[in-house]
Homo-oligomer: A and B are copies of this chain.
């Protein structure tokens, strides 16, 4: 063991003159490396030995961040006041504790080594006391002799040390803990022999459940379609090069789409008579499964088979099905869904493209009357589409009958635009550059009468219009029903993208280590609360959303006319909720992965850019949520703006008296864990919020209408309220469907984890909106804090299961592809 080095007398060192070294610093440092006899007395000039008991305090005074300059001066004064000090000792002390002239690093290091040397022989309690350690150093450096007791044995010295230590507080102990801490074993610091590029994986902690079993429960009957899609997505050719230019990427997407068609994935929803499988839910599952891969490919899939093919299927009649569906499914007939116009993005009802019937030639004339009426953002239009389902205002014999859909050929076999058709490329986009969006103008383009998709509105040869739906408005919303499958698909795809992001970020955060307690290895970042809070509530929300969307798909596939309105409203609401969840989740996950999340190979770049537009297309989220709110206000009768508002509002304000749950003053204060995790509490809270927002929205509307405000304006003035109502309603549905799923689970091994996920979803949402719950007296302040603690506790409980939870999403490594997410990366 090395001898304690002498503590040198050192000259003051100014910051700017740091180059000059105390003459013996070098020797000292070298001494500390040599081994020699232990217990050699400290080499310390006689006159300065009275300062030996202060060594630990002097060290601590200069150690990182412990004392400010004023505090250093303060303890110097306390020390100087000790009667046993000589004037010479006081002069030395003045120099050693001069805040303007700190000691050299070597000097400080020498003190450190002395303290370790002496302290290592002491019991811990003594070693971690500035006084105890100081006395031990004094005893070693100024031993008792026949002539004099050691300074360490003088009672006034010990007492003074205890006093100064008391004044310093617990600071000293903390500093001394660090002195005696073992050196931090740096992660992966095994020298050049270290074989793996990354930090060693965290020791596998067993999950509390079997992820494969949870995965089977989650996927349910979606499993076979998942497997069918994953067989393709596993192939490396299904992963695009992120640096592909727009043109090459479009071709790549088209080629992959052709492969999907080859494998029959284009026809899943179509009737068996046309080579399909008649499986509407299956097509949505295919879409959702494809969304674990390249998002542009799944969007192209949706445009071709869902929107274009789907419009023929649901707006057309048998002759359209017979003539087109097979060619759509095989991609022999690439097509577009041309609804949106430049001037009318959200307000489809006011589109201006006209389809005028010419009874003389038995043709419709499709025409773009002005530039605002050009079709815009039409997928497949810039390059690949041969035909388009065009939405236009039908005019027969000078009479308008509202928006109808027409099949309009737009390109010839060589891909050249047909006469009267003008197409422009929408150009480069934030994401989805694999999709060839275009703008289309029609200059009096003639199409045969048969090209009207005539399920909901017919024109006879001689120009008589008829429809099974009398009002233009009702017919319009029925035709827009083709968008419902699209909205559900976008919601489902959003969840897939969130699952991908969460799987990558959670696996990375489980292995990535940064910082840690002194003397211990660095800690996996998922052990940090901020990281748990970033990922775990979003994992819980993703599970809950998956259950809710799965249920919606079932209702949609089994729908009867009666509940169509409610399914439509749910589709709109879940599309908005899920797409915002995904934008938020992917951003959180990207940030959780730090710089590695920024590398394209780890997928967040494309995932974020491609899914961003999910909040806009198939209906702008804010507009959709207003539709949802209006549906709630009207009891799902129609979605038609202000017309029926007055009657509705009267109805709802009547309801107010009876429906709103009375607040229970005990429940608003209960903070025990059993209550906070009780699904009945969650359900009641979510229902209360929705009902109250509904009734208060109705009251606000009534007040305005009673004052003579026009209904458009009244709705506008309560818009923020309506959006809050819609979100609360969607969230209540998500919770209820999630709780249904938990209750339906008969695998006892999975129940606990499902219950925790549901509770975390519910509590984290209540926490997030606690402003509302507090404002309305549903909870009190103490309960809000208890909910925060409950969220923290659930995050900590779920942390060991985090990787197993994302493994249950069941994304194969080859599909996940992100290097930071792969166990062997």
Please state the number of chain copies in the assembly: 2
Map CB proximity to B onto A426-454 as digits: 1 under 8 Å, 0 otherwise: 11111101000000000000000000000
Interface size on A, residues (CB 8 A): 164
Q: Do B770 and A781 touch (CB < 8 A)? A: no
Whether, in the assembled complex, A609 has its beta carbon less than 8 Å from a beta carbon of chain B, the answer is yes
Is A305 close to B, CB under 8 A? no
Taking the closest CB of chain B, its distance from the CB of A535, in whole angstroms, is 13
Contact with B along A157-197 (1 / 0, CB 8 A): 00000000000111101110010000010111111101011
The answer, among B21, B369, B712, for a CB contact under 8 Å with A192, is B369
Q: Is the CB of B784 within 8 A of A529?
A: no
A21 and B594 in contact, given A169-B646, A186-B350, A605-B431 (Cβ under 8 angstroms): no
Whether A428 and B465, one on each chain, are in contact in the complex, defined by CB atoms closer than 8 angstroms, is no
Interface: A765 (CB within 8 A): no
Q: Which residues of B contact A781 (CB under 8 A)?
A: 774-777
Nearest CB on B from A15, distance (A): 3
Query: Is A87 an interface residue when CB atoms closer than 8 A count as contact?
Result: no
Q: Among the listed stretches A22-30, A45-53, A138-146, which one makes contact with chain B, having 4 or more residues with CB under 8 Å of it?
A: A22-30
A84 to B326, CA, bound (A): 60
Asked whether any CB of chain B lies closer than 8 Å to the CB of A334, the reply is no
Q: Are the CB atoms of B21 and A466 closer together than 8 Å?
A: yes
Contact yes or no, A464 B350, CB < 8 A: no
Of the listed stretches A99-107, A201-209, A267-275, A412-420, chain B binds A99-107
Partner of A644, one of B174, B196, B594: B174
| Selected contact of A528 from candidates B106, B615, B719, CB within 8 Å | B719
**In the complex the two chains form, is B792's CB within 8 Å of A720's CB?**
yes
Flag if A719 contacts B194 (CB, 8 Å): no
Asked if A469 is at the interface (CB within 8 A of a chain B CB), the reply is yes
Residues of B contacting A342 in the complex (Cβ-Cβ under 8 angstroms)? 197-198
Closest B-chain residue to A527, C-beta based? B716
Residue of B with least CB distance to A108? B470
Whether A372 is near chain B, meaning CB under 8 Å from some CB there, is yes
Instruction: Determine if B711 and A174 form an interchain contact, defined as CB atoms under 8 angstroms apart.
Output: yes
Give min CB distance, A175 to chain B, whole Å: 6
Residue A347 is within 8 A (CB to CB) of chain B in the complex? yes
A634 at the interface (CB under 8 A from B): yes
Partner of A647, one of B66, B194, B518: B66
Q: Which among A215-223, A242-250, A802-810 touches the partner chain?
A: A242-250
A194 vs B170: C-alpha distance in the bound complex, in angstroms? 80
Residue A376 is within 8 A (CB to CB) of chain B in the complex: yes
Please indicate the chain B residues that have their CB under 8 angstroms from the CB of A703 in the complex: none
Residues of B near A723 (CB, < 8 A) are 530
Chain B residues near A431 (CB, 8 Å)?
598, 605
Q: A417–B498 Cα gap in the complex (Å)?
A: 41
Interchain CB contact under 8 A, B370 and A647:
no
**A812 interface hit (Cβ, 8 Å):** no
> Is A621 part of the contact surface with B, judged by Cβ < 8 Å?
yes
User: Is the C-beta of A771 less than 8 angstroms from some C-beta in chain B?
Assistant: yes
CB-CB under 8 A from A522, the residues of chain B are 347, 350
Which residues in B have their C-beta under 8 angstroms from that of A514? 344-347
When chains A and B are docked, how far (Å) is the Cα of A718 from the Cα of B189?
30
Q: A2 in the interface, Cβ–Cβ < 8 Å?
A: no
* Chain B CB within 8 A of A683 CB: no
Best-surrounded residue of A65, A246, A472 (most CB of chain B within 10 A): A65
The interface residues of chain B lying within 8 Å CB-to-CB of A178 are 643
User: A103 contacts which of B470, B767, B774 (Cβ < 8 Å)?
Assistant: B470
A428: chain B residues at CB < 8 Å are 242-243, 599-601, 605
CB distance from A190 to the nearest CB of B (A): 7
Which of chain B's residues have a CB closer than 8 A to the CB of A30?
397
Judge whether A743 is part of the interface by a CB distance below 8 angstroms.
Answer: no
Check B643 against A66 for contact (C-beta < 8 Å): yes
Query: Nearest chain B CB to A628's CB is how many angstroms away?
Result: 13
Q: Does A401 contact B (CB under 8 A)?
A: yes
Q: A15-B468, A174-B642 are in contact. List 15 more A-B contacts (CB 8 A).
A: A18-B467, A21-B466, A64-B643, A65-B639, A102-B468, A105-B475, A168-B647, A184-B350, A191-B369, A192-B370, A197-B342, A346-B515, A431-B598, A518-B642, A598-B613
Can you spell out 29 A-B residue pairs with CB atoms less than 8 angstroms apart?
A18-B467, A19-B458, A21-B460, A63-B471, A64-B471, A64-B638, A65-B634, A104-B467, A104-B470, A105-B401, A105-B475, A106-B466, A186-B352, A187-B343, A197-B342, A243-B246, A347-B515, A428-B599, A430-B590, A430-B605, A517-B710, A518-B642, A518-B712, A528-B716, A529-B719, A530-B720, A591-B616, A608-B609, A774-B784
